[in-house]
Chain A
Amino acid sequence: MADAAIFYDGLSARRRAVSIRITSSSLDVEEAGQWIASWPVGKVRRADAPEGVLRLVLQDEPGLARLDIFDGALQSAVQAACPRLHASNPKEKIGRIVLWSAAAAASIVLCVLFLVPVVAERMTPLVPASWEKRLGQAVDNQIRLIVGDKICSDPQGSAALASLTARLRSSNPAAEEIDIQVLDSRVPNAITLPGGKIYLFRALLEKAEAPDEIAGVLAHEMGHAHHRDSLRKLIQTGGSSYLFGLLFGDVTGSGALVFMSRMLVDNAYSRDAERAADAFAGQTMTDLGRSSAAMAHLLKRIEGNESKLPAFLSTHPVTDERLKVLERLVPREQGAPLLTNQEWRALKEICKTS
């Protein structure tokens, strides 16, 4: 056949006009009547080429030799002669890709469900207190971005808060450094940051009817601080959201950071963590000779009234079980009130002047 093909030998970029002789076992390439190559038909494969061009390659060949066939008749003849022409482009196994992607997703979900909690549990005691403090500082900045950074600091209210804090701490030598502040927010909530900083939100304070109710909430949060629950939670959400981010191609984990802080505002701890914090609060209040159930009553009251519950109540509501446990803890003898009436009024109005 006439020069209907171009051969590139893979050694140089020379364009060689060739003719092709098709035999039963091979394609023989000839340039001006001279034999230059033989390609076994079983090893000839097709490569990408524009429409109208049949580009052939030789399988398992280290070089990049190419044979471009332009002539339509010759193309059909070659296609008839080479049985495995399309074997190099096996049909893309979309099913396999889907399967492996699902496997990757499943493994990440399993890690989040089972591995991350265990890792968080194990890592929490290993984190030095100074790191936790710094982490808490960073989270603090984020929280204030989300909630707003108006800290209530009416002098008389602050004094009342300080005396309440001192009373709570006196029964718990373990609660070394507790820093309690009131944040001016309309959400009835209280949160504990890594490093032991506790934020009481104004709305919760306003809903309280007695000092014992607030004292109970604070003691409960001190329990979280004592058990380093928020650090554990932070490690867990951080790890989880980083893993999920990986799945969607966010390797930097920048999304994870924001998400972590948000989760802390919606501080949904595990049931066990809540129970432990309740126990801590009950112990504290009993030691002070005050009612442990007051806190539960406050939370129940909010639960009943609010149409839109804050997340920390909706995910872990004050169940009757929790209430019963707290009510069972009755002090043997009544202690002195934690705040005088005057102090209590001052505390309730801590946000007024600022």
Chain B
Amino acid sequence: MTTSLASTIGPAVPEAVPMSFSGRGREFLKILIAGSLFQIPTFGFYRFWLITKMRRHLWSNTQVAGEAFEYAGTAKELLIGFFIALAVLTPLYLAYFILGLMLEEKHALASIPLVIVMYVLAHFGSYRARRYRATRTIFRGMRFWMTGKGWAYAGRAILWDLATILTLGLALPWASASLERYRMRHTFFGTLQGDFTGSGWTLFKRGVWVWALGIVLVVGLPVGFAAFLHKQGDPAGLWANLTPPFIILLAFLALWPIAMAIFARWQLEGIRFGEVTVSSQLRKRAFVGVFLKLIFSSLAFMICFGLGIALVGFIFKQQILPLLVEFNTVFTHDSELVRESMPGIATVVVVAALLYLVLLLGLGVIQRYFIGRGLWAVMVNSVSVANLPALDAAVAAGQPSGVLGEGLADALDFNVGL
């Protein structure tokens, strides 16, 4: 309520219109569950179709003043991107492997240099993947598009990563601001150039307490705890080993959504397209809520899954197994063969693998529902856009870009978001 008051009273945001997300949770869940099940018989290839469907749903239900976005990418494009990434990466790995054999090195298979190559490619790929998604985003009959070079971006990102590591994370706000500026200034809506006005200093002021608390917890807590236990004269007890990691885990679970919320709000508020400005009233508790739902749903799912397996296993042992043995004895007339084939390690392995797959896919559905859709909805609903009429001046420009980045993201397993 205070948010709407602020936006109507504040003179800085004239006639701001809210963004809204109108997608139904059930519909998204249906996409996720069907898509996850289809991934089993397709050896995971269905992931490209699933991602495309998810994006189409999210885009088309994201509205600015009642006008919805549209996602125009196709699953086939993603598949082709994956093949291109394969064609790029396979020779790279072969060359790396053979080079490792040829060069005089003790640990020929030590993978540190390869990790560096992958790390550079990940930054490059993330920029190109963003470009792909931008050029597949349609709004008011025009597409977004991007200029800029993936390599130039990767270079900047690497230097900023170095700075961030050297300053124990203190440089992160300025790194984020610089990289976001690069991304947004190379993003266009037709002829309208994007910009990013968020400053590193603002993010620093908002987030420094999270950073400080994190450092205190990670460094201070175990040390303090160890000292405490040392005084008690039980330095090697079970509690000493278990408690600090547990508290750190809890602290991170609590701090992570807060940090994400601070970051997301800052990122949204900095977005500009020409005269069009964006403001956000994103609350930290909204993100925390989504994460709590994620954690409790995952736990509930795992408990149900475990109970289900126990029940099915019990019934199988009591009812079905004797039947099967009988059937096999009749069928093969060979008791020795039956004894050999019944417990069948291969069968157990296959069943275990399938169960593991179901567990994994189920957790994936829950994670995508809350992190993919949940956070998206919270962010969209927090945004107001001002000076929307300035968009009228934009004229169509830009072409759809290639899909290598998405392929790299898929092949290298780095997350480019939705």
- Interface residues, chain A, with chain B CB atoms under 8 Å away: 6, 8-15, 47-51, 53, 55, 63-66, 68, 92, 94, 97-98, 100-102, 104-105, 131, 134-135, 137-138, 141-142, 246-249, 251-254, 257
Known contacts A8-B142, A101-B43, A252-B118; decide if A68 and B67 are in contact (CB<8 Å).
yes
Known contacts A13-B394, A251-B89, A251-B90; decide if A97 and B141 are in contact (CB<8 Å).
no
Pick the residue among B139, B141, B392, B412 that contacts A252 (CB under 8 A).
B412
Identity of the chain A residue whose Cβ is nearest the Cβ of B45 in the assembled complex:
A101
Given contacts A13-B392, A50-B61, A138-B108, 20 further A-B contacts (CB under 8 A): A10-B396, A13-B139, A13-B142, A13-B190, A48-B68, A49-B68, A50-B22, A51-B22, A66-B70, A97-B42, A101-B43, A102-B43, A104-B43, A104-B45, A137-B108, A246-B86, A251-B85, A251-B90, A252-B89, A254-B111
Is B334 part of the binding interface, using a Cβ–Cβ cutoff of 8 Å?
A: no
Identity of the chain A residue whose Cβ is nearest the Cβ of B103 in the assembled complex:
A134
- Say how far B187's CB is from chain A's closest CB, in angstroms: 15
Inter-chain contacts of B392 with A (CB < 8 A): 12-15
**Structural contact, B70 and A251, CB atoms closer than 8 A:** no
**Structural contact, A97 and B108, CB atoms closer than 8 A:** no
CA A231 to CA B105, docked complex, whole Å: 19
CA A246 to CA B111, docked complex, whole Å: 18
**Structural contact, A249 and B410, CB atoms closer than 8 A:** yes
CA A117 to CA B67, docked complex, whole Å: 59
- Say how far B15's CB is from chain A's closest CB, in angstroms: 15
Which residues 67-100 of B have a CB within 8 angstroms of A?
Answer: 67-68, 70-71, 85-86, 89-90, 93
**Structural contact, B43 and A138, CB atoms closer than 8 A:** no
Is B102 part of the binding interface, using a Cβ–Cβ cutoff of 8 Å?
A: yes
Known contacts A51-B22, A252-B118; decide if A65 and B107 are in contact (CB<8 Å).
no
**Structural contact, A48 and B59, CB atoms closer than 8 A:** yes
Q: 5 tightest CB-CB pairs across the interface, nearest first? A: A8-B141, A48-B60, A101-B42, A138-B109, A251-B411
Pick the residue among A13, A102, A257 that contacts B109 (CB under 8 A).
A257
The contact string, 1 if C-beta is below 8 Å from chain A, for chain B 390-405, is 0111111000000000
- Say how far B77's CB is from chain A's closest CB, in angstroms: 15
CA A40 to CA B172, docked complex, whole Å: 54
**Structural contact, B413 and A249, CB atoms closer than 8 A:** yes
CA A98 to CA B38, docked complex, whole Å: 8
Known contacts A97-B45, A141-B107, A253-B93; decide if A10 and B141 are in contact (CB<8 Å).
yes
CA A64 to CA B142, docked complex, whole Å: 6
CA A199 to CA B374, docked complex, whole Å: 56
**Structural contact, B140 and A15, CB atoms closer than 8 A:** yes
Majority SS at the chain A contact face: mixed
Inter-chain contacts of B394 with A (CB < 8 A): 12-13
- Say how far A54's CB is from chain B's closest CB, in angstroms: 12
**Structural contact, B22 and A48, CB atoms closer than 8 A:** no
- Say how far B232's CB is from chain A's closest CB, in angstroms: 37
Pick the residue among A55, A247, A254 that contacts B70 (CB under 8 A).
A55
**Structural contact, B410 and A134, CB atoms closer than 8 A:** no
Most buried by B among A65, A137, A249: A249
- Say how far B390's CB is from chain A's closest CB, in angstroms: 10
Inter-chain contacts of A246 with B (CB < 8 A): 86
**Structural contact, A97 and B49, CB atoms closer than 8 A:** yes
Identity of the chain B residue whose Cβ is nearest the Cβ of A101 in the assembled complex:
B42
The contact string, 1 if C-beta is below 8 Å from chain A, for chain B 130-169, is 0000000011111100000000000000000000000000
**Structural contact, B141 and A65, CB atoms closer than 8 A:** yes
Is B381 part of the binding interface, using a Cβ–Cβ cutoff of 8 Å?
A: no
Would you mind naming 22 contact pairs between A and B with Cβ atoms under 8 Å apart?
Answer: A8-B140, A11-B395, A11-B396, A12-B394, A12-B395, A13-B139, A14-B392, A48-B56, A48-B68, A50-B60, A63-B141, A68-B67, A98-B42, A101-B41, A134-B101, A137-B106, A137-B108, A138-B109, A142-B109, A251-B90, A252-B412, A257-B111
The contact string, 1 if C-beta is below 8 Å from chain A, for chain B 165-195, is 0000000000000000000000001101000
Is B44 part of the binding interface, using a Cβ–Cβ cutoff of 8 Å?
A: yes
**Structural contact, B46 and A97, CB atoms closer than 8 A:** yes
- Say how far A89's CB is from chain B's closest CB, in angstroms: 10
Inter-chain contacts of A50 with B (CB < 8 A): 22-23, 60-61, 63, 68
**Structural contact, B71 and A48, CB atoms closer than 8 A:** yes
CA A253 to CA B96, docked complex, whole Å: 12
CA A247 to CA B47, docked complex, whole Å: 13
**Structural contact, A12 and B68, CB atoms closer than 8 A:** no
- Say how far B124's CB is from chain A's closest CB, in angstroms: 15
**Structural contact, B411 and A249, CB atoms closer than 8 A:** yes
Is B114 part of the binding interface, using a Cβ–Cβ cutoff of 8 Å?
A: yes
Identity of the chain A residue whose Cβ is nearest the Cβ of B88 in the assembled complex:
A251
Known contacts A12-B392, A135-B101; decide if A94 and B412 are in contact (CB<8 Å).
no
Inter-chain contacts of A252 with B (CB < 8 A): 89, 93, 114, 118, 412
The contact string, 1 if C-beta is below 8 Å from chain A, for chain B 44-58, is 111001000000100
**Structural contact, A131 and B42, CB atoms closer than 8 A:** no
**Structural contact, A64 and B138, CB atoms closer than 8 A:** yes
Inter-chain contacts of B105 with A (CB < 8 A): 134
Pick the residue among B41, B108, B111 that contacts A135 (CB under 8 A).
B108
Inter-chain contacts of B61 with A (CB < 8 A): 50
Inter-chain contacts of B396 with A (CB < 8 A): 10-13, 63-64
- Say how far A136's CB is from chain B's closest CB, in angstroms: 10
CA A25 to CA B70, docked complex, whole Å: 27
CA A142 to CA B108, docked complex, whole Å: 11
Most buried by A among B43, B90, B139: B43
**Structural contact, A64 and B143, CB atoms closer than 8 A:** yes
- Say how far A158's CB is from chain B's closest CB, in angstroms: 24
CA A248 to CA B40, docked complex, whole Å: 11
Known contacts A12-B395, A13-B394; decide if A134 and B108 are in contact (CB<8 Å).
yes
Inter-chain contacts of B413 with A (CB < 8 A): 249
Inter-chain contacts of A10 with B (CB < 8 A): 141-142, 396
**Structural contact, A97 and B60, CB atoms closer than 8 A:** no
CA A63 to CA B392, docked complex, whole Å: 17
- Say how far A249's CB is from chain B's closest CB, in angstroms: 6
Identity of the chain A residue whose Cβ is nearest the Cβ of B65 in the assembled complex:
A15
Inter-chain contacts of B71 with A (CB < 8 A): 48
CA A343 to CA B374, docked complex, whole Å: 74
**Structural contact, B140 and A13, CB atoms closer than 8 A:** yes
Identity of the chain A residue whose Cβ is nearest the Cβ of B114 in the assembled complex:
A252
Inter-chain contacts of B410 with A (CB < 8 A): 249
